[in-house]
A and B are shown apart, each in its own frame.
Chain A
Amino acid sequence: MWFVRLLSSSIGKKLIMATSGLLLVLFLMTHAAGNATIFMSSDVFQGYADELHSHPLIVLIFSISLLVLVLCHVAVGLYLFWENRQVSTSRYIITKRVVKNSFASETMPYTGLVVLLFLSVHIFGFTFSPKHVDISVTVKNLLSNFFYSLFYVIAFIALTIHLSHGFWSMLQTFGINHPRYNTLISRLTLGIPLFFLLIFGGVALYFMTGLGANY
């Protein structure tokens, strides 16, 4: 069947990575927009969270979709990692990468796994936090822990590195590569991950440094 043929081909697998990656980035944008309300005040943030959770169906659909996306992205990613390792391990006595700044592309599976670890901690900490405690309080409690926050910051840095290859790579996989737009694309590839780092990392730092002590 055409669908199976597409998805089982080497390009098809990349397309799964790119599509799920794109959707996850879009989700992160809405997430970042929501989290930005933390910087306004605990009330605004709590209001946003309450409003969101007053639509349980939407939350459910989103959660399930996200779960599927993450599973796809992780499973196919790991499968590709495993397949490519078979090809590449101990090929040469001396291996040298010619491309400068190839750190991000070389470490994609590892930064990805760090983000995955972060996700499980994050979901355990917030999504399954006690229902009777206000979310704004949970945020403050958890993130005020220096090491908890440090872990968050490290994970966000990993995410930034991951996306600094991933975003461009996603567009390349979709066939978007044109000299006229490549400067814009490379700026976005730098800008979008940094934007996430600023918002998400900012939240962690806000509490970690004690700025949010009176939250």
Chain B
Amino acid sequence: MSSINLTLKIWRQQNSDALGQLETYTLDAIHTDMSFLEMLDVLNEKLTKEGQDPVAFDHDCREGICGMCGAIIDGVAHGPEKEVTLCQLHMRHFKDGDTIVIEPFRSRAYPVKRDLLIDRSALDRIIQSGGYVSVNTGGTVDGNSIPIPSQQSELAMDAAACIGCGACVASCPNGAAMLFTSAKVSQLALLPQGQVERKQRALAMVEQMDKEGFGNCTNAKECEAVCPKGISIRNIARLNKEYLFAAMTEG
């Protein structure tokens, strides 16, 4: 275990109406086994002790699955490591003397609420518009009466692994939410349970996505590159197909 000294430039913004700016802080003796968020904890303890406002940031499970944390680290969502969330990024990936610029995830659909803390409720509304199978509790058939090829189930699981952190939108040059939306559409389109509402789901979710003010996908692949769960843009291709087919045959 070793330790490093860092300079941090962090986006500070009092509330959604205020103008924000980068503030510079220095931190010494950061253990390289720390996670990025633990490093921010150390900073916040220091700021608190100095009578300054700590940096507000979202976080919860700190094991890379709740999807609550995330920030742009030196221009890259969730930082330089592949397939990790910010809480699982460890300081061993930084060098002594590094300057790290930390900005909130941004998109037209993600208002900044304070510092690094943003409002991602637009993603919830996309799911609410149709990202589920409409079954009520009870009266379902035996689990084994719906056989699903293992491979198909694995593909669905690949898509279902999305944690809804929204890094795909934040990193997309166009602020598009296609990877997020396509992951849910794909998961359910691949499974027999999702067939009944397959077309309606694709139409409704894309419509909601457009309504929320997300941008247009131009296949820049940035979303896939920063996705902490490695969700493939193959899902976007699948969504395109699902949507085209649904729009041409439904209603």
Contact = CB atoms under 8 A, between A and B. Distances in A.
Interface of A: 2, 5-6, 9-15, 80, 83-84, 86-88, 91-99, 102, 105-106, 108, 165, 168-169, 172-179
A83 B217 CA distance: 11
Interface extent on B, as a size class?
35 or more
A64 to B, nearest CB: 26
A206 to B, nearest CB: 35
B28 to A, nearest CB: 23
Contacts of A178: 234
B238 A169 contact: no
Contacts of A108: 218
Given A10-B217, A96-B74, A177 B244 contact: no
Nearest to B244: A15
A93 B103 contact: yes
Contacts of B108: 86-87
A93 B22 contact: yes
Contacts of B241: 174-175
Contacts of B234: 177-179
Interface in B110-167: none
Interface stretch (B48-56, B62-70, B86-94, B169-177): B169-177
A97 B236 CA distance: 19
Contacts of A14: 216-218, 240
B187 interface: no
B237 A177 contact: yes
Interface of B: 11, 22, 72, 74-76, 101, 103, 106-108, 171, 173-176, 178, 206-207, 209-210, 213-222, 225-226, 233-234, 236-244, 247-248, 250-251
Contacts, number: 131
A97 B77 CA distance: 10
Nearest to B104: A92
B54 to A, nearest CB: 21
Contact of B219 (A93, A97, A173): A173
B220 A102 contact: yes
A108 B176 CA distance: 17
Nearest to A88: B173
A11 B222 contact: no
Contacts of A96: 74-76
B153 to A, nearest CB: 17
A9 B243 contact: yes
Nearest to A95: B75
Contact of A94 (B101, B215, B216): B101
B215 A175 contact: no
8 contacts: A5-B247, A9-B243, A88-B215, A91-B107, A93-B22, A93-B103, A94-B103, A98-B76
Nearest to B207: A9
Contacts of B226: 98
Nearest to B108: A87
Given A9-B206, A176-B237, A165 B244 contact: no
A91 B106 contact: yes
Given A99-B225, A175-B237, A92 B72 contact: yes
